[in-house]
A and B are shown apart, each in its own frame.
Chain A
Amino acid sequence: MALRRQIRVGSQWMYADEAHKALREALRVMEDEKLADAHGGHHLPWIRRYVFSTDHKWIGIQYGVTALVFLLLGFCLMILMRLQLGWPGQAFSIMKVLGESRAPGGVLLPEAYNQLGAMHGTIMIFLGIVPLAVGAFGNYLVPLQIGAPDMAFPKLNMASYWCYFPGGLLMLASFLAPGGTAQSGWTSYPPLSVIASQGQTWWLVGMVFLITSSLLGSVNFIVTIIQLRAKGLSYMRFPFFVHAQFVTSFLLLLAFPPLEAAAVLQLMDRVAGTSFFLPSGLVVSGQALANAGGGNPLLWQHLFWFLAHPEVYVLILPAMGIVAEIIANNTRKPLWGYKSMVFATVFLGFMSFVVWAHHMFLTGMGTTISAFFQTTTMIISIPSVIILSSLFISLWGGAIRFNTPMMFALAFLPMFGIGGLTGLPLGLAATDIHLHDTYYVIGHFHYVVAPGTIFAMFAGIYYWFPKATGRKLNEFWGKVHFWISFVCINGIFFPMFAQGLAGVSRRLYDGGMQYAHAKQIASQTNPFMSICAIGLLAAQVPFIFNFFYNAIAAAAGRRDEGLGSNPWHATTLEWAATTSPPLAHGNFEVLPVVYRGPYEYSVPGETAEFIPQHTPATEPAPRGGALLPATAVAMREN
């Protein structure tokens, strides 16, 4: 047996091989710093580097952490609501956090319930999911996946975040307004919203900030994707995630402005006394309103839903993108029907602009216009089916790896399926008469967004965490997080369909107990659903610990050395960059050139099990099925 050589380094004896390893590591660190200096990157002051960063990766992380906190907050509001729904009128000491005016003696008042309801919806959609799906995942991944050094307008990107964050804070601050926060639903229908207390004004101003943030972001995404994609990266070689973000950005760009206009009009009604949305002859609490009248409440509904329908596709498309990436990677085969999925996505985006009045079937529509919107709504279900079916079929014959991201991605498929199918009776006016404004609607959209989009968000976090930090999240606790969440979330939302069919209306502070026809089903299901909600909250605890423990460890420099820069053995360009690419230095030492499609897994005739997109076509595939082939273009491995 050979003795291990020892050498003397300074005053220290070391095993030679260990010394060489240390020396290589030291040289690498020095190279890093030299390159950092060569890039003219005199180290930015802390505030420019971490607060007002213009680097898309850091902005993505800012969006991500902020959005996750808002999501948790919105969820906590819902827990308070579910306590009331499960046990109406009961005192809970936790309710006291809302203050005496909202929950005297720990019993939630109906007005306070309405505040929680309006803010839960607003926070989850505008402060939680859109910033997470588009601001966090979009910002972090799109430039990396297209081989760009950053977004096209880095300063505009920073401005987008710093429009979102104060807007979010203003929304939260509205809880402190006299009379409480917005309480007319996230939909803010007039006349109720116009005569509501001051908090509604703060809500409207907050919305203007949030809409502006989204508009600036969408311009950035579209220009980045069109102009900064790498050489050789044609549109049909994009990872599906990029297509999803591309269409999403167009939806945000063109659908949000009418809501901004509507918000201005409602602000005018509330602050300047105009009557855009107030009809003549309104009487409130026995007193006639002293306004000019002549307005139209339906005008608000048209302008609101003109945005809010495309908005729901903004919520789902990035999620589909994430699920597609994870499925392709964890089945070790290309997506089935990639081309159809892309065209379906574009068609979906286009159609989303002509279906909005299916939210207004019960506003006195004539049969002609109702038929028009029913037709367009039925047509728009087709591209969704194409995308979902393609994802399902993509599983066929795959060598499936059941890791945590894949579990969440797999669960997304039937959950989104249930959400989508339950939308069909809502899109047909005859059945919508019965189901509109009932718990059926709440069940439908929560299935799409909660076990749908949010599960996809979790999947994405587990999947891309190693890219951003160099550590994988703990698999065991990930699976615990998944299973408990999956069971509880179905327990909360599935009974809602039964409630809705039985006629339980939404936005009732007692969950239906005041109505004879609703009382029985409400009392049978609401407590069970509330217990599941508490279970769902408990299930997030291991995730929160897992996330922050590993994020802090990574920030302290404790990376998982065995991981490499491509731990999932993926083909898309973001995995060609180093782990946690350095901030403000571009993402790639040399911008990649793309030679292949996005999902070259198990390519017939090739020895390599997977071939990254930037591998030249002419280079012979590495022999022996090496998992990390060398590339002709100089890529800096970690």
Chain B
Amino acid sequence: MDAHAHASVGHAELEIPYNVHPRPDTGLYNGKLGVWLFLASEVMLFGALFSSLILLRTGAESWPRGYEFLNVKLATFNTFILILSSVTVVMAWSHLRLGNLKKGRVYISATVLCALIFLTAKGFEYSHEFQEGRFPKTNNFLAIYFTMTGLHGLHILGGVIVFLYFLGPGAKMWAKEPERYTNRIEIVGLYWHFVDLVWIFLFPILYLM
């Protein structure tokens, strides 16, 4: 990169091409391709757990139906909340594309709020199970239930942390490079939709069968 490019931006960092503007022949900017690749690996991660569930269930002498002791109403509520959070994040991104940081921040905050409600409800669910004496080690259904929802919950927590970063210290990026900021929200949004997608499959498989 020539010295002029550096001088105008004033970064100490190296300029990487196609960080913000897409590369013409692929039509993608780097972060977009990166996050889709990461999501592909996450498909394999949760896929392995689904495969484990299938193997354990078909090999089991008996396997309870989820609603025998799990709280379907609370989980249904959680499903709506998570879908709602997917809508809020895509709204946030749309408003940022329209140049409206304020509305963007409102919708990102709404997403975080939904996520925290989800985690709180999950917390109630878990503690209820523990109180009833149902732990991961009790049987394999509960083991896979706690493991899969627990890992999913950790993914939600990770997303919350990243969103909070972009509401807080990360928001400085908007002033200098709004397009880059919008792209970052799009990327986190894609991750967030994926987390929602996993729940869309987890919920019926664990709770309704």
Contact = CB atoms under 8 A, between A and B. Distances in A.
Asked whether any CB of A lies within 8 Å of a CB of B in the complex, the reply is yes
Interface residues of A, number: 54
Contacts of A160: none
A38 B7 contact: yes
A128 B145 CA distance: 36
Contacts of B17: 148-149, 227-228
A586 B1 contact: yes
B34 A294 contact: no
B48 A276 contact: no
Interface stretch (B56-64, B84-92, B99-107, B110-118): B56-64
Contact of A292 (B19, B30, B140): B140
A152 B56 contact: no
B137 A274 contact: yes
Interface in A125-163: 148-150, 152-154
A215 interface: yes
A272 B137 CA distance: 6
Contacts of A276: 52, 56, 140, 143-144
Interface string A297-340: 00100110010000000000000000000000000000000000
B16 A39 contact: no
B56 A150 contact: no
Given A40-B11, A149-B15, A223-B34, A254 B3 contact: no
B138 interface: yes
Given A226-B26, A299-B56, A585-B14, A219 B34 contact: yes
A268 B147 CA distance: 8
Interface string A203-223: 000000000000100111011
B20 interface: no
Contacts of A215: 38, 41
Contacts, number: 152
B200 interface: no
A291 interface: yes
Contacts of B33: 222-223, 226-227
A265 B147 contact: yes
Given A268-B147, A586-B1, A257 B48 contact: yes
Contacts of B12: 40-42, 44
Contact of B140 (A42, A227, A275): A275
B37 interface: yes
Interface string B31-49: 0011001101110111111
A306 B30 contact: no
Nearest to B22: A227
Given A40-B6, A299-B56, A149 B45 contact: no
Interface string A168-200: 000000000000000000000000000000000
Contacts of A150: 14, 16
Contacts of B138: 292
Interface in B143-157: 143-144, 147, 151
A149 B11 CA distance: 15
B136 A273 contact: yes
Nearest to A256: B41
B172 interface: no
Nearest to B144: A276
B44 A257 contact: yes
Q: Do most interface residues of chain B lie in helix, strand or loop, or is the interface mixed?
A: helix
B16 A228 contact: yes
A262 interface: yes
A123 B28 CA distance: 38
B55 interface: yes
Interface in A209-254: 215, 218-220, 222-223, 226-228, 253-254
Contacts of A274: 136-137, 140, 143, 147
B23 interface: yes
Interface in B119-175: 135-140, 143-144, 147, 151
Contacts of A264: 147, 151
A254 to B, nearest CB: 5
B7 to A, nearest CB: 7
A417 interface: no
Given A39-B6, A227-B33, A274-B140, A254 B48 contact: no
B3 A38 contact: yes
Interface in B61-77: 61
Given A257-B44, A294-B56, A296-B59, A40 B140 contact: no
B80 interface: no
B7 A40 contact: yes
A228 B18 contact: yes
B34 A40 contact: no
A294 B140 contact: yes
A40 B52 contact: no
B49 A261 contact: yes
Contacts of B38: 215, 219
Nearest to A48: B12
A265 B17 CA distance: 41
Nearest to A150: B14
B45 A260 contact: yes
B158 to A, nearest CB: 12
A160 to B, nearest CB: 13
A584 interface: yes
Nearest to B35: A219
Contact of B61 (A44, A255, A260, A294): A294
A38 B41 contact: no
Contacts of B30: 152-153, 223, 227-228
B37 A219 contact: yes
A295 interface: yes
Contact of B143 (A40, A219, A275): A275
Nearest to A39: B6
Nearest to B52: A299
A428 interface: no
Given A149-B17, A228-B18, 12 more contacts: A38-B6, A39-B6, A148-B17, A150-B14, A215-B41, A254-B44, A257-B41, A258-B44, A258-B45, A268-B147, A274-B137, A294-B140
**6 tightest Cβ-Cβ pairs between the two chains A and B:** A273-B137, A258-B48, A257-B45, A261-B48, A274-B143, A257-B44
23 contacts: A38-B6, A40-B11, A41-B12, A222-B37, A223-B34, A227-B17, A227-B26, A254-B41, A254-B44, A257-B44, A258-B45, A258-B48, A260-B48, A274-B140, A276-B144, A292-B137, A292-B140, A296-B56, A299-B55, A303-B52, A584-B14, A585-B14, A591-B1
